[in-house]
Amino acid sequence: MSATVPATAFARIGQLASQRPVHEAFGWLHLHEPQIMSWQRELVLVAAPPFGEGPRAEWLCAKFRELGLEDVALDGIGNAIGVYRGEQSGGECVLLSAHIDTVFPSDTLIDPQLNGTRLSAPGACDNGAGVVAMLAIAAALRHAEIRPACDLLFVGNVGEEGEGNLRGMRHFYQHAPWRERVAAHVVLDGAGHEVAVTHGLGSRRYLVTVNGPGGHSWTDAGRVNPVVVLSRAIARLGDLALPAKPRTTLNVGTIEGGTSVNAIPEQVTARFDARSTDAEQLIRLEVEIHRAVEDAVMEANAGAKREHALRFSIEMIGDRPAGTLTEHAAVFENLRAVDRHLGIRTETRIASTDANIPLSLGVPALSLGAGGNGGGIHTRNEWYDARGRVLGLRRILLLLLACAS
Ligand SMILES: [Zn+2]
């Protein structure tokens, strides 16, 4: 990547990494891979389907307490929170989070198989890897008796995957007493040690419904047909010119309606998915969707009897706000310096993650992998391989300490 590493940031990381307690923390991470993997195996056995993360959150709270985090508790929506105290406690804090929910329904058979460094189980990588990385970092800090300048906040949050619609992070930034104090937020999601998500891809989803009187295809012919009318709106939206930069997309994912080939339908629905790296484009698309549907319905109603008029509704069924981390944010400069120190080539990405919420509020945030490798994400064949995990963990630890100093 092109962005430079300021000399001061690079020097600071070198100085940080040469401190004896940091070495001791690295040593703990290096020697305790079996411990970390045993946590990961335990974790995948506690099911955490969307909206059913309670047992896993309780499990995580117990682990946070064992590792000496303070003020451990569940918040109002079920996020597990614990504090690692810094020297100046109560001021700014650095937040480390990992989502605890999975995409798997509660009746999914979970029979984890551990072969050498490889754990096969639904959720082993996404986000077993991220959650146990938090535990490893907390354990290493405690073992080395590191006292960062400010508090480190550990959060295992609910509701990251699809239907969860980022509700765990949303709740934290709306209600947590901590929310005003977050100076930097590092999200851990899945495996890897090179990628950093620094652009939050925003998306909004809508369910559009058009209702009419319906009728018989022959005897009621001429009545307004909701399928035809919604199709006109969709055709108009399909002709919209969308910018390549900021990249913006609009998809019609489903269209459903009607009951029979010889009936005028009473109802039709369609689901839209709008995405952009720019929040304003999402607002523009929302206006376009309303305009296209409203115009098509009004046009159809102009020639219809009043009692046969069509009605429509547009419901937002998903909302992930967009946001971007600026190159000069301290957390980004620190990451580039840490990566240079560790010989890692930083790859930045655009994606939709928990970091969307802080980024949309102007809180510096990014999402990292928790080291190692993984695959089969969101399938029953998901796996995680811990080889190389320690490099990812060192990266996270140095970044946190750099941000907290
Ligand atoms: Zn994930």
What's the CATH number where 77 sits? 3.40.630.10
Shared-domain flag, residues 189 and 217: no
Question: Residue 204 phi/psi, 5° resolution?
Answer: -135, 140
Residue 190 CA to ligand 1 center (angstroms) comes to 6
Residue 158 CA to ligand 1 center (angstroms) comes to 11
Residue 81 CA to ligand 1 center (angstroms) comes to 18
Shared-domain flag, residues 314 and 167: no
Residue 353 CA to ligand 1 center (angstroms) comes to 8
Residue 130 CA to ligand 1 center (angstroms) comes to 8
What does DSSP say about strands 88-99 and 113-115: parallel, antiparallel, or unpaired?
unpaired
Does 68 reside within a domain?
Answer: yes
What is d(CA 377, CA 385) in angstroms, rounded to the nearest whole number?
13
* pLDDT score at 303: 84
**CATH (domain of 237):** 3.30.70.360
Shared-domain flag, residues 262 and 397: no
Does 362 reside within a domain?
Answer: yes
Shared-domain flag, residues 52 and 173: yes
Does 89 reside within a domain?
Answer: yes
Residue 99 CA to ligand 1 center (angstroms) comes to 7
Shared-domain flag, residues 71 and 186: yes
Does 80 reside within a domain?
Answer: yes
Residue 239 CA to ligand 1 center (angstroms) comes to 34
Residue 280 CA to ligand 1 center (angstroms) comes to 26
Residues 320, 274 contacting (CB under 8 angstroms): no
Q: In total, how many domains does the chain have?
A: 2
* pLDDT score at 6: 74
Q: Give 10-residue mean pLDDT values along the chain (405 residues).
A: 71 95 97 98 96 97 98 98 94 97 92 96 97 98 97 97 88 93 97 95 95 96 95 97 94 95 97 91 96 97 91 94 93 96 95 95 97 95 97 98 94
Question: Residue 316 phi/psi, 5° resolution?
Answer: -80, 120
Residue 7 CA to ligand 1 center (angstroms) comes to 34
* pLDDT score at 1: 43
Residue 154 CA to ligand 1 center (angstroms) comes to 17
What does pTM read for this prediction?
A: 0.86
Question: Which of 320, 347, 364 is the last residue in one of the domains?
Answer: 320
What is d(CA 385, CA 341) in angstroms, rounded to the nearest whole number?
24
Shared-domain flag, residues 210 and 164: no
Residues 113, 119 contacting (CB under 8 angstroms): yes
Residue 125 CA to ligand 1 center (angstroms) comes to 8
Residue 247 CA to ligand 1 center (angstroms) comes to 23
Residue 295 CA to ligand 1 center (angstroms) comes to 40
Shared-domain flag, residues 242 and 385: no
Shared-domain flag, residues 50 and 171: yes
Shared-domain flag, residues 296 and 231: yes
> Around Cβ 343, how many Cβ atoms within 10 Å?
7
Residues 233, 169 contacting (CB under 8 angstroms): no
Residue 387 CA to ligand 1 center (angstroms) comes to 20
Residue 50: give the domain boundaries. Answer: 7-200+322-403
Residue 338 CA to ligand 1 center (angstroms) comes to 23
At 7, list the tokens. Answer: 């000399």
Residue 243 CA to ligand 1 center (angstroms) comes to 28
Does 160 reside within a domain?
Answer: yes
Shared-domain flag, residues 267 and 175: no
Question: Residue 188 phi/psi, 5° resolution?
Answer: -110, 125
Question: Which of 320, 351, 376 is the last residue in one of the domains?
Answer: 320
Residue 160 CA to ligand 1 center (angstroms) comes to 7
Shared-domain flag, residues 110 and 218: no
Does 79 reside within a domain?
Answer: yes
* pLDDT score at 3: 61
Residue 127 CA to ligand 1 center (angstroms) comes to 5
Residue 218 CA to ligand 1 center (angstroms) comes to 52
Residue 187 CA to ligand 1 center (angstroms) comes to 10
Shared-domain flag, residues 15 and 145: yes
Question: Which of 295, 320, 345 is the last residue in one of the domains?
Answer: 320
* Long-range contacts, 235-242 (Cβ 8 Å, 24+): 236/292, 236/295, 236/296, 237/272, 237/288, 237/289, 237/292, 240/285, 240/288, 242/281
Does 1 reside within a domain?
Answer: no
Does 2 reside within a domain?
Answer: no
